[in-house]
Structure 1
Amino acid sequence: MGIFKRVKTIVQSDVHGYLDRIEDPVNMVKQYIRDLEEQLDRAAEALTQQLLVERKHAALIEQTEALLAKRSHQAELAVDRGEDAIAQIAIREKLILQERLTQYRSQFEALQQQTVQLKEQIVQLKHTYDALQAKKHYLIARVQTAEALKGVNGTLHSFDPRQAVRGFARMEEKVWQLEAEATARKEVQAITSQASGNALQDKLQDSVLLELDALKRQRQEKELKQL
């Protein structure tokens, strides 16, 4: 195999191993959860901005309504006083304000609809997030169980009953050897003790015979003296 082909094989093997690690189900779920957390953070920021714009529009509508009421009142006063020029100016501004108010209210309704949609999206994201969290714990439990079973199966696969039987046979033979050694030592000790006892008895017998000879001589000498 050429050097470049070997390098290509090694690179492919490393890439496949890397992809296998990336495609680990627990890691993938964790990554999805991190992505969802980022989406939830962005959605929360977007909702904050949305509510702020909505609140500003509500304030703008209130201000426009107040100014419109003021211009209407000014137009009425001008008409009552016969000041037509001032009345026309007030009415012109009133019409402009009415058009603006219509636009502001339309925009406000659109903002409210966007807020509702954004809140619905956040709720859906939260449901998906909770479901993936539960899925993560479930997958982790399954992976741990699978790894435990894999370890047990590997242990059982590597276990050879015949080797165990041979091992027990060697142990039994060793026990027999120890028992034989213990029995032999016991018998040797008994034989040694008996031999020591016999030797002691033989030595005592010699002393008895000497003492008997001496006693016989004493008795004979005594009898001779009496004669």
Structure 2
Amino acid sequence: MALITRISRLFRADVNAVLDRIEEPELLLKQAVREMQEALDLDVQRRRSITMELQRIGTLQAETDARLARTADELDLCFANGNETLARVLLRRRLESEAFARFLERKREELQAASSDLARRIDENQGRLDSMRQKAAVFVAREDSSGTDGAWTESAFARQFVVSDDDVELALLRERQQRVTS
């Protein structure tokens, strides 16, 4: 049974390789560049959402700090008037606010780490994408030049090495001058 499974895998791999060669390599390359761009766009979108979340956390931290300051003032007032029942309620509120402030700080640190990782990955992927686009442009240009009729004919090849009459005259004068001086 294992032998049949291996043979079927090999057969599928060969069929996929044949299909890859049949398909246009230019289209596959364009698809790969498109997928890289989509992945990069998704990372940029994630970074924007993290930035917005960081702003929201900053707002919540400011509100929590203001609540803690108000609670401290209210606690001073309760202890000055000897109202311990209300002081207990305010202490509970302060402890809850402090726990929430610690949670917000941890969340902010996690998001900042994720944002810096995403920024690094975006920079790396942007460089890779630019490199891939350059390679794709070279590949497409090479495919276009090799696909045109007559680009590599003997006459086109020979025209690269045509020497003008003026070049022959200059070469003759140089040769005469060298022979006279030697």
- Specify which structure has the higher proportion of helix: 1
Residue 111 of structure 1: how far off its partner (Å):
0.9
1:169-180 paired onto structure 2 within 5 Å: none
Report the CA distance between 1:95 and its aligned residue.
Answer: 1.2
Larger radius of gyration between Structure 1 and Structure 2: 1
Which residue identity is paired with 2:21? D
Aligned residue number for residue 22 of structure 1: 23
For 2:92 and 2:67, locate their aligned partners in 1 and report how far apart those are by CA, in whole Å: 13
- Cα deviation for residue 44 of structure 1 reads 2.3
Residues 193-204 of structure 1 mapped to structure 2, 5 A cutoff: none
Residue number in structure 1 paired with 2:38: 38
Aligned to 1:108: 108
For normalisation by structure 1, the TM-score amounts to 0.55
Q: What's the TM-score, normalizing by structure 2?
A: 0.67
Displacement, 1:66?
Answer: 0.8
Structure 2: runs of 5 or more not aligned: 1-15, 157-182
Structure 1 136/107 Cα, relative in aligned 2: closer, same or farther at 3 Å?
A: same
- SS of 1:152's equivalent in the other structure is coil
Deviations 1:9-51 (A, max 9, x none): xxxxxx9875324252x33321111101211222222222212
Deviation at 1:107, TM superposition (A): 0.8
CA separation in 2, counterparts of 1:61 and 1:101? 6
Distance 1:28 1:150, change over 3 A: farther
Residues 145, 151 of structure 2: 8 Å contact kept: no
Within 5 Å, give how 1:1-227 maps onto structure 2: 19-22=20-23, 24=25, 26-148=26-148, 152=152
With over 3 angstroms needed to count, the CA separation of the structure-2 counterparts of 1:17 and 1:89, relative to structure 1, is closer
Task: Tell me the SS of whatever aligns to 2:152.
Answer: helix
The 3 A distance-change label for structure 1 pair 16 and 112 is closer
Whichever residue aligns with residue 22 of structure 1, its letter is E
Q: Distance in 1 between matches of 2:63 and 2:150?
A: 72
Measure the CA separation in 1 of the matches of 2:77 and 2:17.
85
The aligned amino acid for 2:109 is: E
CA–CA separation in structure 2 for the residues paired with 1:155 and 1:144 = 20
Give RMSD over aligned pairs.
Answer: 2.8
Q: Could you say if the C-alpha distance between residues 80 and 16 of structure 1 is closer, same or farther in structure 2, counting changes exceeding 3 Å?
A: closer
In structure 2, do the counterparts of structure 1 residues 38 and 82 end up closer, same or farther at CA, with 3 Å as the change threshold? same
**Structure 2 CA distance, aligned partners of 1:61 and 1:79?**
27
Partner-residue secondary structure (3-state), 2:53? helix
CA distance in 1, matches of 2:123, 2:133: 15
User: In 2, distance between residues paired with 1:76 and 1:16?
Assistant: 78
Indicate the percent of aligned positions where both proteins have the same amino acid: 18
CA apart distance, 1:98: 0.7
Aligned to 1:189: none
Aligned length: 142
Deviation at 1:155, TM superposition (A): 9.5
- Classify 1:21/1:153 alpha carbon distance in 2 versus 1 (closer, same or farther; 3 Å): farther
Between 50-59 and 104-113, report the one with greater CA deviation: 50-59
Letter in 1 for 2:142: R
